[in-house]
Structure 1
Amino acid sequence: MVGWGRGCGGSAMDRWQETVVFTESEMEVQDESDLETFLQWAAALGVSDSPVTQSEVTTCPSPFCLGHSICVSHFPDAGGRGLAAVRDIMKGQLILRVPKEALMTSESLRSKDKKLSSVLCKYPTLSSTQVLAVALLNEVNKGKVTWWYPYLKQLPRSYDILESFGRLEIEALQMDEAMWTAERAVEKGKMDWGEASVLMHELNLKPQLSTFKAWLWASATISSRTMHIPWDSAGCLCPVGDFFNYAAPGEEPYHSEILKTRRNMSPLCDTSFGKVQNAGKSIEELFDANAHRLIDAGYEEEVAAYCFYARRNYRKGDQVLLSYGTYTNLELLEHYGFLLHDNPNDRAFIPLEPDMYSLCSWPKESLYIHQDGKPSFALLATIRLWVTPVTNRRSVGHIAYSGHQISAEHEVTVLEWIVKNCGSFLGNCSTSLEEDELLLETIDKIQDYNVSMDFGDVSRACNSELSAFLEMNGRKLCGQVQICRNTRSIHRWKLAVEWRLSYKRILRECISHCNKRLEDLYS
């Protein structure tokens, strides 16, 4: 599974106050020059990736917090900046620990700033997330004098969560559900900013840090990069820990090799701070002790640190990934600003008659189509009851609820109903799946070349979107045009088209799946 997420996003927040725009090459140089300083800063706070047992620690001392188990690397086709294994790592092994003192929380920011702490007392109605956003902007406002400066410089300059989408990107989603989700996110962002504006004014933040654009940056930083902590619902920003990119749960590329690597690993190792426990236990028993983990990281009170564990076996050079949880592509786009082209947890919905929801006790969100095109258990059971005559529903209800087909003839009607409705839904979209693929190719060309382009091959269905984008950039669609690239806008537009294309592919897969089953029933 391709990894995306917290590690990606580009360069630092240096000179945010002046809203300096760097070229890509300048940002890369800045990243390289700042990274070493940041890793040294983190190491001084106790952030470490060293193995649990001293026998595994390299004999070469290092001033950096990484290099024993993982290192910062770049994965152009899998999330951008991320973390790579510098040695073979076994599933369940502790690979990074970040002490509480290194976590950026509302509490830690208030404790270091008396003015912030005093002013916040006047605004008890603000949510914990609003408080953290204001506190984050307050630190950026301090510039180089802030204690967090090395970390702030590592944060991305912009994000692509739905809250940052403009009207063009929202409309490009096409599906009502997705457009409504994006509009709700934008509206909530504006409301939160409005409620916090008085507080930001009282803190004397620089004008550019009190704008909605700055608020979007802070809000997106919190949405896409914070991790759960038990004492604050806003979560914490975790230096180094937020370099991990995302892998969807359930993806286990090396499942068959769980116990094949690192057989010589010390049986005395424990997943806490080098405690020598579990003496006499086999490596299999130690693996089993961590195999129950549903996520890869968490704050552990007994050691006062955020601890990260390998979600699977990794070979030297592999990107080490983190599972934030189970998300659909729309949820990933909403909260993290990216999507997966092959997300096993993605799903699609087709319009159902209002009365269909009363046939079952399942919630609406359970009536979906899986990423592989198979209808969910609840959706299939509901449709089986729906196509059954009302007078017969009571007598066959137990069969439908058990997940079985009522009869071969009846199942044909069910599958034909699904094929018809999926096809009708796709037919009502303003662009076809093939047109979306062609539009994506065009967007790629726009991103790759700042030269004259020929749009003659683009269908009329896509012309309105192209025209809207070009007009937004002060251009008109007329055969050939010199593109003036707005990088973030183009990328968000591309994400929207990729999302709707992925959604349509699920419906097409569903049609193929049902047609194959129909062939089996006909034969």
Structure 2
Amino acid sequence: MGRTLRHRKRIGKRLARSALSDELKDLFKWLKMKVINHNLRPTMFHDTGRGLMTKRPIYPGDIIIAIPKPFLITMDTVLKSEVGSLLKRSHLKLNLQQAMTIFLIIESEKQEESVWWPYIKVLPETFDTPAFWKPSDLCLFSKNLYKKIFAALKDLQTFYDEIILFLSSCKEIKITFNEFRWAWYCINSRSIYYDCDSSPYIADTNKNIALAPFLDLLNHSTTAEVEAAFNKNNNCFEIKTYNSFRKYDQVFISYGAHSNTHLLMEYGFILPDNPHDVYELDYDEIVRVAQNLNLQYIDRKKRIIEENNINRFVLFPNF
């Protein structure tokens, strides 16, 4: 989804606004008659970048946005496309994010010929997640975080290799790792939870996702309280807020109660005053410090932990 509150200088009591790009104007025009809530307008804010501004006051309990199902990119969207034809012919199964990644790349190559082009052309060209960082920069992280990033990068390569294997019989579609990485993080950072039925052509893992044009311009705040769900009565994905916003305020949602480690790896940002942040301590480091301090019975305690397979993942709240 959109960028979050950054640690930048606040200008004035309310967020300053600047002119929209042509791409955002086109997106707004494309969705204006489809999105239920014309009071939100794409805006550039000094401290967050792109976001959505309200043109009227919003009160707790209001539906701030509703996207009709035909304008969500879901499993059904993918299965009805040429990617779906490939999935139905193949003996290999991809998860939905892999299939949606292929879909997004193919649609982006169509440009104006794709019905999704007004949305795709406003997607970021790159991301601030560690997957886009230089290897030399990754070495600056702590041991624990580096291990997590390394594991995530290994999984990313595996997902890509599975896609290449899946496409090996299709000479018309060639996907580079950079194209894959871009599309993967477009989905990873912007997808919503969307419950869908199982399909014989898609692996069940990570299948409940969708992309929601316009909605993903909403930025994250730890103080935001929202309820998001698909409303079967009006066939729309809705977000209800429990916060108040004044006219011309930026409207925020919550991506979840995530630590800075999670936010960095999944979305590419951190929050300086994140109430959900934690310190992660490595078990081996704790044992080493205890031994250096000559604490009593450390070997016995270590043996009990190992014999009983006690969780060694230690977290402390960052107050």
Alignment of 1:472-491 (within 5 A): none
Of residues 186, 189, 207, the one that matches 1:221 is 186
Aligned mates of 1:313, 1:191 — CA distance in 2: 44
C-alpha distance after superposition, 1:426-482 (max 9, x if no partner):
xxxxxxxxxxxxxxxxxxxxxxxxxxxxxxxxxxxxxxxxxxxxxxxxxxxxxxxxx
Q: Does 1:171 align with 2:139?
A: yes
Aligned mates of 1:203, 1:101 — CA distance in 2: 30
Q: 1:136 to 1:234 in 2, by over 3 A?
A: farther
Of residues 29, 33, 47, the one that matches 2:35 is 47
Q: CA RMSD in A?
A: 2.6
Q: 1:147 to 1:203 in 2, by over 3 A?
A: farther
Aligned mates of 1:125, 1:165 — CA distance in 2: 30
Of residues 7, 11, 17, the one that matches 2:2 is 7
Instruction: Name the amino acid aligned to 1:318.
Output: D
Aligned mates of 2:100, 2:311 — CA distance in 1: 34
Of residues 238, 241, 261, the one that matches 1:330 is 261
Instruction: Kindly state the Cα deviation for residue 295 of structure 1 after the two structures are TM-superposed.
Output: 4.1
Contact 2:54 2:248 in 1 (8 A): yes
Which SS does the other structure have where 2:139 is aligned?
helix
C-alpha distance after superposition, 1:362-396 (max 9, x if no partner):
8444x422221xxxxxxxxxxxxxxxxxxxxxxxx
Aligned mates of 1:171, 1:142 — CA distance in 2: 38
Which SS does the other structure have where 1:349 is aligned?
strand
In the other structure, the counterpart of 1:240 is 214
Of residues 109, 130, 148, the one that matches 1:181 is 148
Aligned mates of 2:132, 2:126 — CA distance in 1: 9
Which SS does the other structure have where 1:34 is aligned?
helix
Alignment of 1:1-400 (within 5 A): 6-8=1-3, 32-44=21-33, 46-49=34-37, 66=38, 68=39, 70-77=40-47, 79-111=48-80, 113=81, 115-121=82-88, 122-173=90-141, 175-200=142-167, 202=170, 204-205=172-173, 210-231=175-196, 233=207, 235-248=209-222, 251=223, 295-350=226-281, 351-353=285-287, 355=301, 358=305, 363-365=311-313, 367-372=314-319
Gap regions ≥5 residues in structure 1: 1-5, 10-27, 50-65, 253-293, 373-523
More helix by share: 1
Gap regions ≥5 residues in structure 2: 5-17, 198-206, 288-297
Which SS does the other structure have where 2:93 is aligned?
coil
Aligned mates of 2:259, 2:171 — CA distance in 1: 39
Aligned mates of 2:125, 2:253 — CA distance in 1: 22
Instruction: Name the amino acid aligned to 1:182.
Output: I
Structure with higher RCO (Cα < 8 A, 6+ apart): 2
More strand by share: 2
Instruction: Name the amino acid aligned to 2:25.
Output: E
Aligned mates of 2:226, 2:256 — CA distance in 1: 7
Instruction: Name the amino acid aligned to 1:92.
Output: G
Aligned mates of 2:27, 2:183 — CA distance in 1: 20
Aligned mates of 2:248, 2:70 — CA distance in 1: 30
Aligned mates of 2:106, 2:79 — CA distance in 1: 10
Aligned mates of 2:180, 2:99 — CA distance in 1: 12
C-alpha distance after superposition, 1:136-184 (max 9, x if no partner):
11111222201111111111111122333331121111x1110011111
Aligned mates of 1:123, 1:221 — CA distance in 2: 27
Could you state the TM-score of these two structures normalised by the residue count of structure 1?
Answer: 0.50
Q: 1:203 to 1:228 in 2, by over 3 A?
A: farther
Aligned mates of 1:361, 1:227 — CA distance in 2: 35
Contact 2:144 2:280 in 1 (8 A): no
Aligned mates of 2:171, 2:227 — CA distance in 1: 38
Aligned mates of 2:143, 2:3 — CA distance in 1: 29
Contact 1:85 1:318 in 2 (8 A): yes
Of all paired residues, the percent bearing the same amino acid is 24
Aligned mates of 2:32, 2:56 — CA distance in 1: 20
Aligned mates of 1:92, 1:132 — CA distance in 2: 33
Which SS does the other structure have where 1:296 is aligned?
strand
Instruction: Kindly state the Cα deviation for residue 105 of structure 1 after the two structures are TM-superposed.
Output: 1.8
Instruction: Name the amino acid aligned to 1:193.
Output: Y
Contact 2:87 2:93 in 1 (8 A): no
